[in-house]
């Protein structure tokens, strides 16, 4: 049985949605972030970065959301969460996943933790505003992709990208223009957030609508 260390709505929500979607046997382990549990010795022994999530798969401990998602997709190939290996679709899948995790998610960290990105805390609002501008550009790029080849990131088939995107769009509900109000992205968010697996995961985390 898997163990997913999570905090409601955090990056753990993507592997959580996937675990439900894949019908996997798993247990949720609540990380008491409000009391800094993710910075305590027990948690740091699992993930020295002190970041959420962590997945335990037997004796194996995995951190980094994208790595966890890819591992789950590998372990449950029948769920078809990634395109076939060595195909053009697989190459584009890699491109978008790296964009989501290296670029979009990274700028969300800048947006949410702006004070960490300067030694002068008075810079935080400027740092946050510039991250927001970049995030808006990224969501426009994603919306355009979905407009060309939707309704899912890989066209007609769902993949783990769509679950990742729901998490990012949900975080984007604090931006001045909510990603879910964009034409094609909004459709994608609606389709994914209505999936029974996602409804179950959100209910378990007590996340309330609007989901993005
Ligand atoms: N690159 C990491 C980032 C994870 C991350 O930053 N998680 C946030 C929650 S969404 C966290 O743990 N924040 C607590 C902190 O940075 O102190 C991943 O993708 O797993």
Whole-number average pLDDT of the chain = 96
Q: In this structure, are residues 72 and 18 in contact, taking their beta carbons and an 8 Å threshold? A: yes
Q: What is the CATH number of the domain that holds 16?
A: 3.40.30.10
Number of structural domains the chain divides into: 2
What is the tens place of the pLDDT at every residue in 19-34?
A: 999 999 999 999 999 9
Model pLDDT, residue 195: 97
Instruction: Please check whether residues 69 and 6 belong to one and the same domain.
Output: yes
Instruction: Please check whether residues 73 and 122 belong to one and the same domain.
Output: no
Indicate whether 114 belongs to any domain.
yes
Instruction: Please check whether residues 96 and 75 belong to one and the same domain.
Output: no
Protein residue whose Cα sits closest to atom 16 of ligand 1: 51
Query: What is the Cα–Cα distance from 116 to 6, expressed in whole angstroms?
Result: 22
Domain that holds residue 74: 2-79
Ligand 1 neighbours (beta carbon < 6 A): 10-11, 38, 50-52, 64-65, 101, 105, 109
Model pLDDT, residue 210: 72
Q: Give the end of a domain, one of 45, 79, 113.
A: 79
Coil vs helix vs strand at 24: coil
pLDDT category at 212 given cuts 50, 70, 90 is confident
Q: In this structure, are residues 192 and 14 in contact, taking their beta carbons and an 8 Å threshold? A: no
Indicate whether 204 belongs to any domain.
no
Q: In this structure, are residues 63 and 47 in contact, taking their beta carbons and an 8 Å threshold? A: yes
Q: How far is the CA of 65 from the centre of ligand 1 (A)?
A: 9
């Amino acid at each position: 049985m898997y163990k997913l260390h999570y905090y409601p709505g955090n990056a753990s929500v993507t592997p959580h949605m996937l675990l439900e979607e894949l019908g996997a046997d798993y247990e949720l382990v609540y990380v008491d972030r409000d009391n800094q549990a993710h910075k305590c010795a027990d948690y740091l022994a699992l993930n020295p970065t002190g970041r959420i999530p962590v997945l335990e798969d037997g004796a194996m401990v995995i951190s980094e959301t994208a790595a966890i998602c890819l591992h789950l997709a590998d372990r449950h190939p029948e769920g078809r969460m990634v395109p076939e290996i060595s195909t053009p679709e697989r190459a584009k899948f890699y491109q978008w996943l790296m964009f989501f995790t290296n670029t979009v998610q990274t700028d969300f960290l800048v947006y949410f933790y702006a004070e960490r990105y300067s030694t002068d805390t008075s810079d935080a609002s400027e740092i946050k505003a510039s991250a927001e501008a970049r995030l808006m550009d990224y969501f426009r790029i994603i919306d355009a992709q979905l407009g060309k080849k939707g309704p899912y990131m890989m066209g007609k088939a769902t993949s783990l990208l769509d679950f990742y995107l729901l998490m990012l769009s949900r975080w984007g509900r604090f931006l001045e223009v909510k990603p879910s109000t964009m034409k094609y992205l909004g459709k994608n968010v609606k389709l994914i957030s209505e999936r029974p697996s996602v409804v179950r995961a959100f209910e378990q985390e007590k996340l309330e609508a609007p989901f993005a």
